[in-house]
Chains A and B, each alone.
Chain A
């Protein structure tokens, strides 16, 4: 009877030990999991609050940057309107060779005086092609002009100063020039590159 009771008690003790051991094992496992994975979770929580405060600061900076951009645009609106208009004249969108023809004619008419004659006897346009390493296209243009020496140099300077914001004339570049000086005037044939942006 006593032996049986002791056996039962022993088995109870064993069962209790097993439960306690299992509880400890679960505790240890959960703690280990918590240590390794929970640490990451805590770090994430810390990072979230850090990010949130960072977002508030960045939002302020973004608003400041936007406000500054708007303010600057407003302050220099005229500059930029001029800029857009002038760019459109310097490098127009598309060949626009008829516009260019009118512009050249206007130039020759303005500089033609009895003392200093200038006459463009021919004007030819070639086929446009893209200029290497630039976003622009070239419209080959050939002009034959007879003028006084003064107007000849004036025309050369007109071409050299073209494409400037100050002049607002279409960008040109002399590719070749053949000049023939006579007693009173200069006759010359000039090959030009005139530039334009492709049409979108």
Chain B
């Protein structure tokens, strides 16, 4: 049997019960007991001080007692709901003696529960001071059952679980969002930022590697041009009719050495171009190869241009670097040339093949030596042209150029006029024959030049001759014709009668 506490209250006047009792379980020796006692004494004091009317004060006291207990002492309120089975002590009518009647009336001083309700209703309009102090009756004033408590605990657990999950979810979303934002740098570099930086680093390092390789390629292209120039120079000596035997022997010896150096440079260029110029990262793997090459070309060009702008053209030490950078940019822009260098076949390369490669490099190259070579290639070899004129003339005059014109007659040129821009040649001279067929000799000269693969468009329409007293017949000569290109076709080359 649990120990109980009894709270007694005194009614005052108008037949109100003199006493009411609330039985509370006792927890002797605990601090709760002290708290409960102080709570109840507080309530008793309040009731003593106030003078409620005869009908309402006991009821109010009894009705508000659990609330008062709860308000005065939370610990007591915790105990009350589970132990106090009759929380309200309604005021009994004055005719009913508190000590008589049923258990209910004995306990609460009321005849029945319906009266209690009525009394409570009648008191609803005016609140007691206690009610005024304590406020509205709380919802959970009714003592919850054990099941309700269990449910409530589950709700709390569910609530805690929800807050836990929500917190984790929000933190997770926030973390992912922050990590995906390269601009967010409050807690250091985000993954997106690191990703961006490493991608940029890959491109930057590849660009630097490309620059080093292109510098190497340019170096070898220059070296190749250097040796190629000498190679072609000696090859021209070997093929020229004007060269002496000793010149040709010297040129032959030099040519082999030059070819070796050219092959060495070509191998180095091919090796440099065999290395990748582009690199795929996770951000550019869907970009086409051509676009990617363009991207890396642009990146390298931008890097070179920034270096270029940092150099001073007035400083002699910077000029060489400026020229190198300019040539690398030209090499970058000339994709066809790079493709040609990359695909050169070096197997079984002979003198002719080497000369061909050099010529092609110079035709396509955009560096200074290639530009020089292109200018040189456009030059007209006038000594060769004069040799060819002599060669053609000898077809109609077997003793031409032997100094026998005065004795034997034939052809003699006194003036040559060459025009490189138009390719026109004018020859002025004299022909002399011992018989009267001077016109035939002139016609033969015209045909000989027309039939030659080196000349075309010969124009000579005014024939005249005079008889010489010393030697046969003579005529003035003024031929005009044009240079025929190496691969140019002239229908008159083959239709004329072979002389």
Chain A residues close to B by CB (< 8 Å): 4-5, 8-9, 12-13, 15-17, 19-20, 22-23, 26-27, 29-30, 33-34, 37-38, 40-41, 43-45, 47-48, 50-52, 54-55, 58-59, 61-62, 65-66, 68-69, 72-73, 76, 79-80, 82-84, 86-87, 90-91, 131, 134-136, 153, 156-157, 160-161, 163-167, 171, 173-182, 195, 197, 200
Closest to B198 in A: A51
Closest to A84 in B: B320
Report the number of A-B residue pairs with Cβ-Cβ less than 8 Å: 234
In the complex, the answer to whether B220 meets A72 with C-beta atoms within 8 Å is yes
Give every chain A residue within 8 A of B201 (Cβ-Cβ): 51, 55
- 24 of the cross-chain contacts (CB-CB < 8 Å) are A5-B144, A16-B155, A16-B158, A26-B165, A37-B176, A45-B191, A51-B199, A51-B202, A55-B198, A58-B209, A76-B223, A79-B226, A84-B320, A135-B368, A135-B371, A156-B386, A157-B383, A160-B383, A178-B416, A181-B413, A182-B414, A195-B375, A197-B368, A200-B322
Other contacts beyond A68-B216, A76-B219, A80-B219: 13, CB < 8 A: A12-B155, A15-B159, A22-B162, A30-B172, A34-B172, A58-B206, A58-B209, A72-B220, A134-B374, A153-B383, A163-B375, A165-B230, A200-B322
Give every chain B residue within 8 A of A83 (Cβ-Cβ): 222-223, 226
In the complex, the answer to whether B378 meets A47 with C-beta atoms within 8 Å is no
In the complex, the answer to whether B155 meets A15 with C-beta atoms within 8 Å is yes
Give every chain B residue within 8 A of A29 (Cβ-Cβ): 169, 173
B103 within 8 A of A: no
Q: Given A34-B176, A176-B419, are A44 and B383 neighbors across the interface (CB < 8 Å)?
A: no
B290 within 8 A of A: no
Give every chain A residue within 8 A of B169 (Cβ-Cβ): 26-27, 29-30
3 interchain residue pairs of minimum CB distance: A51-B198, A30-B169, A65-B212
Q: Given A20-B161, A26-B166, A163-B375, are A176 and B420 neighbors across the interface (CB < 8 Å)?
A: yes
In the complex, the answer to whether A177 meets B147 with C-beta atoms within 8 Å is no
For chain B residues 371-428, which have a beta carbon within 8 Å of chain A? 371-372, 374-376, 378-383, 386, 413-421
Q: Which of B165, B172, B282 contacts A23 (CB 8 A)?
A: B165
In the complex, the answer to whether B205 meets A90 with C-beta atoms within 8 Å is no
In the complex, the answer to whether A178 meets B417 with C-beta atoms within 8 Å is yes
Q: Give CA–CA (A112, B264) in the complex, Å.
A: 42
B281 within 8 A of A: yes
| A162 → B minimal CB distance (Å) | 9
Q: Give CA–CA (A16, B383) in the complex, Å.
A: 109
In the complex, the answer to whether B372 meets A55 with C-beta atoms within 8 Å is no
In the complex, the answer to whether B176 meets A171 with C-beta atoms within 8 Å is no
B30 within 8 A of A: no
| B215 → A minimal CB distance (Å) | 5
| A131 → B minimal CB distance (Å) | 7
Q: Give CA–CA (A76, B375) in the complex, Å.
A: 27
| B35 → A minimal CB distance (Å) | 28
| B53 → A minimal CB distance (Å) | 31
Q: Which of A166, A173, A200 contacts B420 (CB 8 A)?
A: A173
Q: Give CA–CA (A182, B161) in the complex, Å.
A: 119
Q: Given A51-B198, A181-B415, are A72 and B368 neighbors across the interface (CB < 8 Å)?
A: no
Q: Which of B155, B205, B234, B320 contacts A19 (CB 8 A)?
A: B155
For chain B residues 159-188, which have a beta carbon within 8 Å of chain A? 159, 161-162, 164-166, 168-170, 172-173, 176-177, 179-180
Interface size on B, residues (CB 8 A): 85
Q: Give CA–CA (A54, B147) in the complex, Å.
A: 65
Chain B residues close to A by CB (< 8 Å): 142, 144-145, 147-148, 151-152, 154-155, 158-159, 161-162, 164-166, 168-170, 172-173, 176-177, 179-180, 191-192, 194-195, 198-199, 201-202, 205-206, 208-209, 212-213, 215-216, 219-220, 222-223, 226, 229-230, 233-234, 236, 242, 268, 272, 275, 279, 281-282, 313, 319-320, 322, 368-369, 371-372, 374-376, 378-383, 386, 413-421
Q: Give CA–CA (A195, B304) in the complex, Å.
A: 28
Q: Given A41-B191, A51-B202, A62-B212, are A166 and B165 neighbors across the interface (CB < 8 Å)?
A: no
Q: Which of B142, B166, B375 contacts A173 (CB 8 A)?
A: B375
| A13 → B minimal CB distance (Å) | 6
In the complex, the answer to whether A40 meets B155 with C-beta atoms within 8 Å is no
Q: Give CA–CA (A149, B378) in the complex, Å.
A: 25
Q: Given A83-B222, A163-B372, A177-B416, are A62 and B383 neighbors across the interface (CB < 8 Å)?
A: no
Q: Given A47-B281, A55-B205, are A79 and B223 neighbors across the interface (CB < 8 Å)?
A: yes
Give every chain B residue within 8 A of A38 (Cβ-Cβ): 176
In the complex, the answer to whether A180 meets B212 with C-beta atoms within 8 Å is no
Q: Give CA–CA (A69, B268) in the complex, Å.
A: 11
Q: Which of A20, A73, A157, A182 contacts B158 (CB 8 A)?
A: A20
Give every chain A residue within 8 A of B202 (Cβ-Cβ): 51, 54-55, 58
In the complex, the answer to whether A22 meets B166 with C-beta atoms within 8 Å is yes
| A39 → B minimal CB distance (Å) | 10
Q: Given A23-B166, A134-B371, are A54 and B382 neighbors across the interface (CB < 8 Å)?
A: no
Give every chain B residue within 8 A of A197 (Cβ-Cβ): 368
Q: Which of B142, B194, B372 contacts A171 (CB 8 A)?
A: B372
In the complex, the answer to whether A80 meets B223 with C-beta atoms within 8 Å is yes
| B204 → A minimal CB distance (Å) | 9
Q: Which of B144, B180, B382 contacts A8 (CB 8 A)?
A: B144
In the complex, the answer to whether B229 meets A47 with C-beta atoms within 8 Å is no
| B331 → A minimal CB distance (Å) | 14
In the complex, the answer to whether A82 meets B382 with C-beta atoms within 8 Å is no
In the complex, the answer to whether A178 meets B415 with C-beta atoms within 8 Å is yes
In the complex, the answer to whether B375 meets A82 with C-beta atoms within 8 Å is no
| B386 → A minimal CB distance (Å) | 8
In the complex, the answer to whether A61 meets B275 with C-beta atoms within 8 Å is yes
Closest to A16 in B: B158
Closest to A65 in B: B212
In the complex, the answer to whether B226 meets A82 with C-beta atoms within 8 Å is yes
In the complex, the answer to whether B415 meets A180 with C-beta atoms within 8 Å is yes
Closest to A138 in B: B375
Give every chain A residue within 8 A of B209 (Cβ-Cβ): 58, 61-62, 65
| B63 → A minimal CB distance (Å) | 18
Q: Which of A19, A45, A160, A163 contacts B381 (CB 8 A)?
A: A160
